[in-house]
Structure 1
């Protein structure tokens, strides 16, 4: 099974989440809250998707070390 598209999608979503955390840390500005409201259903879904992508990317450690796709 070729999981490269899923890997890249998860990576992009996780990077966007990391940028949001950087904005929170440096400027006290939460982009998700600004765009979608404070803990609305859509913002909670966004946080959940970012978290799931981060957990999925843990599997990349084993695949990168083995050199397999």
Structure 2
């Protein structure tokens, strides 16, 4: 399925370039390569480009497949998960909320050593 989407995306890009050339310069590249706009093979290419556009339309609405180049395993998941444990030391929140406590404790510790 991934290969089909890549081929469809390539055909959509070719179609977009062709429409750009038609819009800017009135030059149909696909028609000129394959024998005119009304030739059977040019109409076949135009049909393939149209079908590819329908296939790529799904990329607009499906967030998991929006990134065509991503690997299959990483789609739609966040691998930056961190789990906490209950075995760690609890932080001293009093020291966090009352920084002046550090100054008082350091003076008390100095007096004990004298």
- Of the two structures, which has the highest relative contact order with CA contacts closer than 8 Å and spacing of 6 or more? 1
TM-score (norm 2): 0.53
Q: Which has the larger radius of gyration?
A: 2
Q: Please, which runs of 5 or more residues in structure 1 have no aligned partner? A: none
Cα deviation, residue 57, structure 1: 0.8
More helix by share: 1
RMSD of Structure 2 on Structure 1 (CA): 1.4
Q: Please, which runs of 5 or more residues in structure 2 have no aligned partner? A: 66-71, 73-114
Question: Which stretches of structure 1, 4 residues or more, deviate above 2 A after TM superposition?
Answer: none
Supply the distance in 2 between the matched residues of 1:54 and 1:62 (Cα, whole angstroms).
13
Supply the distance in 2 between the matched residues of 1:43 and 1:9 (Cα, whole angstroms).
18
